[in-house]
Amino acid sequence: MRRLNSLTVCVVLTFLLGIVGLLADQVAPYDPLNTRMFRALQPPSNVNLMGTDQLGRDVFSWVVYGIRTSLLVGLSSATIAVALAVIIGLLSGYKGGIIGNVLMRVADVFLSIPRFMLIIVTVVLLSPRISNIILVIAIFSWPEAARVVRSEVLSIKEREYVMAAKALGSRDLDIMINEILPNTIPTILSLWTLIIAEAILTESALGFLGLSDFNYPSLGVMLMMAKNAIFVGGWWVLLFPSITLVILILMFNFLSDKLIERLSPRLG
């Protein structure tokens, strides 16, 4: 019951944050990109719930839109990365041989180089548009997930029902889609939520370094602004975006753990 309750709470929080991001236009009282709307570095008040930054922007409105940006990048990047990981993991795990070895060597090449440095260099070369950030994070996030999916496939393909399907003359594609893929769904869901958390953190780090699409308010960009605000007493510019970012990341990490506990037949 405790596991079920904690999972339910986590799902509800995820849903509520998703609603906040989706309805940011209605939830945020002001345009977060509108500078000099208020006096700079005003503390939290009835007018500005989380105060203002150095440019007179409403921090609460920025945080609300920052949730939308984080979820956009996290969900999009994770979905693309997991789709690649599932395709590559299924092919390399089930087919094996030259195809499997080549695919895993490609994954090893990606894993052998510091991922964040690769992301920084690639984003700089491509320009920090939101679409480029999503694609770059996705491209460099699939290798670890593909190896996990491959290990699951290697185990599943030796089970009796897969052997029976082969004996009945089922095609390899049918076996992979109908017999193996459904049994990897707990792992896939757990990987998906975990990559969402990693993508949110990566996007925020890029924003903190100034490598963000400034047409999309980012929690990382607000943290970059807080570097200067904190020295003149603007603690709220650092506090509220930091808390929001930590909640987002911890929530998806926790959700990943609970999903694998509840859905995996070995652990549930």
What pLDDT, in 10s, does the model give residues 32-48?
888 788 888 999 999 99
pLDDT band for position 267 (cuts 50, 70, 90): very low
- Mean pLDDT over 81-108 rounds to 88
Instruction: Answer whether residue 1 shows pLDDT above 50.
Output: no
Q: Could you report the per-residue pLDDT of 144-198, keeping only the tens digit for each?
A: 999 999 999 988 888 888 888 888 888 888 888 888 998 888 889 989 999 999 9
Three-state SS letters, the chain:
CHHHHHHHHHHHHHHHHHHHHHCHHHHCCCCCCCCCCCCCCCCCCCCCCCCECCCCCEHHHHHHHHHHHHHHHHHHHHHHHHHHHHHHHHHHHHHCHHHHHHHHHHHHHHHHCCHHHHHHHHHHHHCCCHHHHHHHHHHCCHHHHHHHHHHHHHHHCCCHHHHHHHHCCCCHHHHHHHHHHHHHHHHHHHHHHHHHHHHHHHHHHHHHCCCCCCCCCCHHHHHHHHHHHHHHCCHHHHHHHHHHHHHHHHHHHHHHHHHHHHHCCCCC
> Would you state the pLDDT for residue 264?
61
What is 2-23+33-39+47-263's CATH number, 3.40.50.720, 3.40.228.10, 1.10.150.300, 1.10.3720.10? 1.10.3720.10
Domain ranges across the chain: 2-23+33-39+47-263
- Mean pLDDT over 73-83 rounds to 96
pTM score: 0.90
